[in-house]
A and B are shown apart, each in its own frame.
Chain A
Amino acid sequence: MISIRELRFAYGSGFALDLPALDVAARERVAVVGPSGAGKTTLLNLVSGIAVPDRGRVTLDGTEIGALPDRARRRLRAASIGFVFQEFALVDYLNAEENVLYPYRVGAGLRLDRAARDRARALLADFGLGGKTRRRPAELSQGERQRVAIARALVTRPKVILADEATGNLDPANKAAALDLLFAQATDTGAALLCVTHDHELLPRFDRVIDFAELRQAA
């Protein structure tokens, strides 16, 4: 599914991410750990096509992302990548259902149709938010907001789910619940899950752990 070879990406500040090889298969759950500033978020940006590597290749189902023009990369991102952010990044003026459908409002090449609406409602119902679809983020609890954010990442049925500290702002009970939802949905849709986390208690639940501290030592 995801294949990375001889990857190098450098910032103007001098920091550079070097990753000789990484493969993530469909349905695989991979945790990415490491100290702050090690390049974990940069890896997610490279996999999603937000950033383009200086050298090397990132491919998704055989398509080299860095070789695509900007519009094609945005289409690929909208259709194949689901994002879950640490701060949830919900839109304050939209209600829960509208937030879940937000990718269809802004994502390149996505079309908002009845099927998408039905899927959004079903996800919210599955996540225990069926009675709160009209509530705005300010009217939801932290855990509920995170569930809305996860539903937004899943609504397009992506091939890859990228989660950046997705449980960082949650209490232990909500952390476990959020991870359960992500894992269940990833299993159902066959999506690969790449999850950046600082929470080592969660690591045993993943199929594999990539430690950026070890990678840098090896480099």
Chain B
Amino acid sequence: MNALYLAAANLRFHWARTLVLVVAAALVLAVPVLTRALLAQGEAALAARAEATPLLLGTRGSRLDLVMAGAYFTDDLPEPATLAASEAVWDSGLGIPVPLYTAFTTGEARIVGTTLDYFDLRGLEAAEGRPFALLGEAVLGASAAARLRLGPGDTVLSNPENLFDLDGAYPLEMTVVGVLAPTGTPDDEAVFTDIKTAWVIAGIGHGHDDILAEGEDAAAAAARVVQYARITEANIDSFHFHGDPATYPVTAVMVVPHDERSATILRGRYLDAEGPVQAVVPADVIDALVARLLRIAALVDAVTLVVGAAAALALGLALFLTWRLRAPEMRTAFALGAGRGTIARLALAEIGLVLLAAALLAAPLVIALQSHAPTIAARLIALGS
């Protein structure tokens, strides 16, 4: 008790030094635990999302890019496929195709152009408002809504793709009509629109005043065209699309086969290495990725151990130097009848109190971050590209 009393008095008196030691020790304790928790949660989130996405179609190329873009809405986009891939699945009667076009962003959130089937298949429900129904409407994922501080009635503006490309995609202002309930998946980070709205952003569809004067050449009139940057009740009827819908771009097509047999047949149809479209089972791709992550995690563990040991040594050195400064006090204590055991108890009490305070500081931090780990992991996955 005497050792604890003296240790507490000394730590209290040198509170600034104690605070630095406690914070440093808390970080040494918390960071490896948090890293491990986030890694585990990230793996779990990746695997769960992959399991919930039976099949993805997309342009032949990197299977990982297709899965990451189609299931996790990351920034690495594969070459777009066409809506024909979706129509082919629909015509086959083997499953429900859900086209996804994720080429654009608003703020840091990815705009996911899709159909209402996506909400049904993912089990997404609106916490506020309603799903999109008209061209130019958007529904926000829970985290995106919180981060952008938007709700039904507000508007979001798509990011311009290239300010200096006059022929490129122009920003489109969309009306927020709903906010989804949180799911702990990449859907929380996305902004959903009808896929036609996404095509409007891409410039495939547009609306403008009818400016063609009688007898005027259409090419001459085109120079006067002012395209709408917002879709309203007044101008929605002027919006139209050019070209064959089958050629419209899609990032991926999520397919929910009717049964195992249909899934097998569908996969078989895209086995031809020369074909433009590939079918991937996200769970297979993610299993391979997680296996790699686990190997990296082992490396991270080793690095964490070394860094932790170095940090612990640095803390130990700081304590040792502090102790050296107290040599006169120890000499006095010895003269007054203290033994080596008393001095050791005093040192251990101080180290123990610092570690206890560090643990008390680290514990709520770890608990708080662990409770938010699914959201953080989902955001990291959405951003991780």
- Chain A contacts to B: CB under 8 angstroms: 48, 50, 70-71, 74-75, 77-79, 83, 85, 87, 89, 91-94, 98, 102-110, 112, 136
Contact = CB atoms under 8 A, between A and B. Distances in A.
12 contacts: A50-B335, A71-B339, A74-B339, A77-B336, A89-B329, A91-B329, A93-B12, A94-B6, A104-B2, A106-B2, A106-B333, A106-B346
B326 to A, nearest CB: 9
A172 B333 CA distance: 29
Interface string B301-343: 0000000000000000000000000001101111111110010
Nearest to B2: A105
B336 A50 contact: no
A93 B9 contact: yes
A31 B44 CA distance: 80
Nearest to B6: A105
B370 to A, nearest CB: 37
B164 interface: no
A77 to B, nearest CB: 5
Interface of B: 2, 5-6, 9-10, 12-14, 328-329, 331-339, 342, 346
B337 A103 contact: yes
Given A77-B335, A78-B336, 17 more contacts: A48-B335, A50-B334, A74-B337, A77-B337, A78-B337, A79-B337, A83-B335, A93-B12, A94-B6, A105-B5, A105-B6, A106-B333, A106-B342, A107-B336, A107-B338, A109-B337, A136-B13
Contacts of B328: 87, 89
Interface centre among B329, B331, B336 (most CB of A within 10 A): B336
A74 B335 contact: no
Nearest to B345: A106
A71 B337 CA distance: 9
The list of the 8 closest CB pairs from A to B, nearest first, reads A78-B337, A93-B13, A107-B337, A106-B338, A89-B332, A106-B333, A105-B2, A77-B337
Contacts of A107: 336-338
Nearest to B330: A106
Nearest to B335: A83
A199 to B, nearest CB: 22
Contacts of A109: 337
Contacts of B6: 94, 105-106
B336 A83 contact: yes
Interface centre among B13, B328, B331, B337 (most CB of A within 10 A): B337
B337 A110 contact: yes
A4 to B, nearest CB: 19
B18 to A, nearest CB: 11
A106 B336 contact: yes
A59 B328 CA distance: 28
A211 to B, nearest CB: 25
Contact of B9 (A79, A85, A94, A103): A94
Contacts of B2: 104-106, 112
Given A74-B337, A112-B2, A85 B342 contact: no
Interface centre among A75, A79, A104, A106 (most CB of B within 10 A): A106
B327 to A, nearest CB: 11
Contacts of B5: 105
A110 B339 CA distance: 13
A94 B6 CA distance: 8
Contacts of A70: 339
Nearest to A105: B2
A53 B339 CA distance: 19
Nearest to A95: B9
Contacts of A102: 332-333, 336
A78 B334 CA distance: 9
A74 B337 CA distance: 4
A107 B341 CA distance: 11
A103 B324 CA distance: 21
Interface centre among A78, A79, A105 (most CB of B within 10 A): A105
Nearest to A98: B9
Contacts of B339: 70-71, 74, 108
A77 B332 CA distance: 12
A106 B3 CA distance: 8
Contact of B342 (A93, A98, A108): A108
Nearest to A162: B335
Nearest to A76: B337
Contacts of B9: 93-94, 98
